[in-house]
Structure 1
Amino acid sequence: MTESTTAVRQEAGNDVVFDGITKSFGSTQVLQSIDLHISSGELVTVLGPSGCGKTTALRILAGFEKPSSGRVLVNGQDITSVPANRRGIGMVFQAYSLFPNLSVQENVEYGLRVRRVDRGKRAARAKELLEMCGLAEFASRYPHQLSGGQQQRVALARALAIQPGVLLLDEPLSALDAIVRSQIREEIRRLQQQLGITTMFVTHDQEEALSIADRVAVLKDGVIEQLDEPRTIYQKPSTEFVARFVGSVTEVGATRDYRGGALPVQHPEAGLDTLFVRPEDITLVPDEDGSCTVISQIYTGERTIVRATNPANDLEVTSSVSAVEASDLVPGTRVTPQVMSTPALRVSANKQNPAEQVTV
C-alpha cells in the first residue's frame, strides 16, 4: 500500500449516525424515526423494495435532502445543515454520470480540480486510483470508449479521488450484467476494506446486499425492520417481512407442539403457528403415501430447485437439493416433506407472542 493510500485510510475514520431521522414529502411520510449507526470503516447495505425510503436516506446523508426532523452526525459532528459540497462525502450513482467530453483521467481528477488541488498532485492521485481500479491503461480514453463495468470503475475512482470520509453508493451495479456486476461488487468491497472508508450501499438486490456488507439494514415503509449481519438476516429474520423479502421461504401451518420431522403441509390459518422454512432446510422424501406431489424441477447448476404441492390444498413446498437427490424427485413423485433444521422463523398462532426460532 502506498503512503498516499495509507493517508486516505487514516483520514477516512468516520462514524455515521442517523438520529431520529424523519422525512415527509407533503402528506407522505417516507422515513419514520430512523436510528442507524454505521461504525468507522464499516459497510452497511440498506436493502428494501422500491419506495421503502432507502434512497431518500442516502440523499439525506449526502446533503441533497433535508430531514423533516432528526439529525445526521459524521464523526460526532452534526452535519444536518451543512451543504452537500462541504460534507466530504463521495458518491457513486446508478447512472455513472461521467463527463463525456473529459478523458478517464480528467474525470477522476474533476473533484480535485474543483477544490483547486495542484495539477501535479491531481495527476498523481488519479494515476494511483486508476491503478487500484485496474484502469491505468485507459487513462486517455473517453467514457464512450469504455464498457459499462469500466465506466462504473471510473465513477468509483472519481468518488474516491477527493479522499472522502464517507462513501455512498446508490444502486451502482443495477445497470450491469450478472458477471460484470459480481466483479465490480468484489472490486468495491476490496477497495472499501483497503481504504477503510465508512460506506453506505443502497440496493434492492438481496444477493448484492448479503454478499458485500458487514451489516444489512432491511427497510419497509420507512422503518428499519432489522439491522444485522448478513447471515443473521437470512437465517434468523426477526419479522415476517424480512423472512419473505430476503431469500425464499415456504410458509406452512403447524401445531404448537411441532418440532421437526415430517412436515404437516397445510396453509397457515387461525389456531396454527406459521413456519417460515428456507429451501435448503426442507428435504423431500419419496413416499407412496406422501402428502405432496413433485410438480417441477429447476436446474440452477450447483443445486436443483424442486417444487411439490399438497393435492388437498395446493400449498407449494420448495426444496433445494443436489443433482443426485433430484434424480429421485421427478415430477409426479409422491413425497413427504421433512424439516431438517431450525425454521428461519416461527410465528405464534395468537401473534401476541414475539416471533421466535424454534429448535428442531
Structure 2
Amino acid sequence: MTTAAERSRPAETPSNEVVLEGVSKAFGTTTVLQNMDLTLTAGEFVTVLGPSGCGKTTALRILAGFENPTTGRVLVGGRDLTGIAPNRRGIGMVFQAYSLFPNMTVQENVEYGLRVRKVAKEKRRRTAQDMLEMCGLEQFGSRFPHQLSGGQQQRVALARALATQPEVLLLDEPLSALDATVRVQIRDEIRRLQQQLGITTMFVTHDQEEALAIADRVAVLNSGVIEQIDAPHEVYQRPASEFVARFVGTVTELGAPSGFAGGELAARQPGENLDTLFVRPEDLMLVPAEDGDCTVASQVYTGERTIIRAAAPEGDLELVSSVSASEAAGLVPGTRVRPQVISEPALRLPAGAAA
C-alpha cells in the first residue's frame, strides 16, 4: 500500500543543499549580518539560535527571498537564487503567526500554493489530503482556522508549506505562540515529518532547549556572526566561545590556577592570573563546609534532578549545581558550601581572556 509520504514525495528528489556564501546585510548604517558562511547539506535540519536582534530572522528572510543580501549569494542545489523572487525558489515557509487565510477551509488553505501553481483540481485535492493525513489533520479539512486550536493551526501551516513539495523548508520561530505542552508536541511532529520527507530545513529560534532537541546541527549567532555551528551536544558540552557558553544552558564561572585539573577550590581564588572555568551544573558539586565562602540560596525540584543555587555574600558570584534528590537533602538554604569541579569544564579561558 502506498503511504501518504510516498505519494507526496517527488519521484526524483532534486539536490537541495543550501549555501549562504559570504552573506552580509545592512539596513542603512546598521549591519545585521557579517560575511555569513553557512551550508546545510541535503536533508539536514539546522537550527539558528541566538538572542533577539542577532540577525537570525534576517538570514532566514534572505534565504527565502524576502530580503536581498548587501553582499554574498544564496545557492540551493548549486543554483544561484540571489535576486530570484520568493515564489520561484522552491522554498516552503512556516511563520510564527500561522498566516492562514481565515475565509478558507483547512483543505483550501493547504491547496492554496498548488492552486497558484495551476495544479489540476483533483491532484491538488489529493495532495492536500495526503498532507493533512501526514500532519494528523485528515478529519479537519472542512473546518475554518478559527475553529482550530493554536497547535492545530500550526499543523495546517506546516501542511500548506509541504504541499508544494519544496526543496527547502524554513521555520521562523513557529512554536513561540504555543503553550509548553503543545510546543513539544509540534516540535516533535516537525522533526518526524522532516526526517520522513528528507527535506533540508532551517529552523530559527531563541529557545535553547528547542534548538538542542530538534536539530542535526545548531548555529549560534551573535551580532550577525556565527560563533559556532556544531552538533547539539558539542555546542553544549564544548562551546567555542564565552558567548556560546553563557547563552546556551547554564554555567558557573570560576577562577582557578592554570594547573587546576578538578576537585575542590575556593569560590574566590587569591591572585590575579587565574584561568576562567565555565562549568555546567551537572559538573559542579557543592560541598558543605563551615569555611565555605558561598551559601545555599535556593533549591528547585525539577523531578529527576534538583537545581541548587548558592551565592557569595557580596551577591556578585553564583554557583549552580544539578544534584539528585538524596544529595539535595544536605544542601538546604543557609548551608555554607565550597564548589567542587567533578568533570572537565565546558570551556577554559586563560588569564585575562574572559570579558
Partner of residue 169, structure 2: 167
Question: What is the 5 A alignment of 1:1-360?
Answer: 1-2=3-4, 4-5=6-7, 7-8=9-10, 10-11=12-13, 13-266=15-268, 270-311=272-313, 314-351=316-353
> Structure 1: which 5+ runs fail to align?
356-360
CA contact (8 A) 1:267 1:315 kept: no
The 8 Å contact of residues 268 and 274 in structure 1, kept in 2 or not, is answered as no
SS in 2 for 1:234: helix
Aligned length in residues: 353
Shift of 1:254: 1.0
Shift of 1:266: 2.0
**Once superposed, which parts of structure 1, at least 4 consecutive aligned residues long, lie more than 6 Å away?**
none
Q: Deviations over 1:21-51 (max 9, x none)?
A: 0100001111000000000000000000011
Moved more, 303-312 or 106-115: 303-312
**Displacement of 1:205:** 0.4
Counterpart contact for 1:252–1:268, Cα < 8 Å? no
State the distance in 2 between where 1:341 and 1:305 align. Answer: 18
Q: Cα 1:111–1:351, aligned 2, differ >3 Å: closer, same or farther? A: same
Instruction: State the Cα distance separating 1:336 from its structure 2 match.
Output: 2.2
Compare 200-209 and 317-326 and name the one that shifted more: 317-326
Q: Retained in 1: the 8 A contact 2:273–2:351?
A: yes
Listed as ranges, the gaps of 5+ residues in structure 2 are: none
Q: Deviations over 1:204-255 (max 9, x none)?
A: 0000100000000000010000000000000000000000000000111111
Match of 1:358 in 2: none
Which secondary structure does the structure 2 equivalent of 1:11 belong to?
Answer: coil
Amino acid corresponding to residue 54 of structure 1 in structure 2: K
Q: CA shift at 1:12, angstroms?
A: 5.4
Q: After alignment, is 256-265 or 27-36 more displaced?
A: 256-265
Give the direction of change, closer, same or farther, for the CA distance of 1:44–1:180 in structure 2 (3 Å limit). same
- Give the aligned residue type for 2:105: S
TM-score w.r.t. the length of structure 1 is 0.94
Deviation at 1:16, TM superposition (A): 0.3
Q: CA deviation at 1:333?
A: 1.4
Taking the aligned partners of 1:254 and 1:9, their CA distance within structure 2 comes to: 59
Q: 1:191 to 1:302 in 2, by over 3 A?
A: same
Cα distance, 1:284 vs structure 2 = 1.3
Q: 1:111 to 1:314 in 2, by over 3 A?
A: closer
RMSD, aligned α-carbons = 1.8
Q: Is the 8 A contact 2:54 2:221 kept in 1?
A: yes
Deviates more, 1:304-313 or 1:95-104: 304-313
Contact 2:8–2:165 under 8 Å retained in 1: no
- Encode CA deviations 1:91-120: one digit per residue, 9 max, x unaligned: 000000000010000000000000000110
Distance of 1:154 and 1:177 partners within structure 2:
17
Map Cα deviations across residues 68-108 of structure 1 (whole Å, 9 max, x no partner). Answer: 01010000111102111100100000000000010000000
2:5 touches 2:197 (CA, 8 Å); kept in 1? no
The amino acid across from 2:66 in the alignment is: F
| Conserved 8 A contact 1:225-1:239 | yes
User: Which deviates more from structure 2 when the two are superposed, residues 183-192 or residues 5-14?
Assistant: 5-14
Once the two structures are overlaid, the 10-residue window that deviates more, 291-300 or 201-210, is 291-300
Distance between the aligned counterparts of 2:272 and 2:22, measured in 1?
37
Q: State the SS of the aligned residue for 2:290.
A: coil
The 8 Å contact of residues 12 and 198 in structure 1, kept in 2 or not, is answered as: no
Cα deviation, residue 293, structure 1: 1.8
Asked if the contact 1:47/1:202 (under 8 Å) is kept, the reply is: yes
Check conservation: 1:252, 1:274, Cα contact below 8 A.
yes
With the length of structure 2 as denominator, give the TM-score of the two structures. 0.96
* Structure-2 separation of matches of 1:242 and 1:269: 27
Q: Is the 8 A contact 1:215 1:230 kept in 2?
A: yes
Contact 2:14 2:77 in 1 (8 A): no
Which residue type is aligned with residue 285 of structure 2? T
| Separation in 2, partners of 1:203, 1:24 | 21
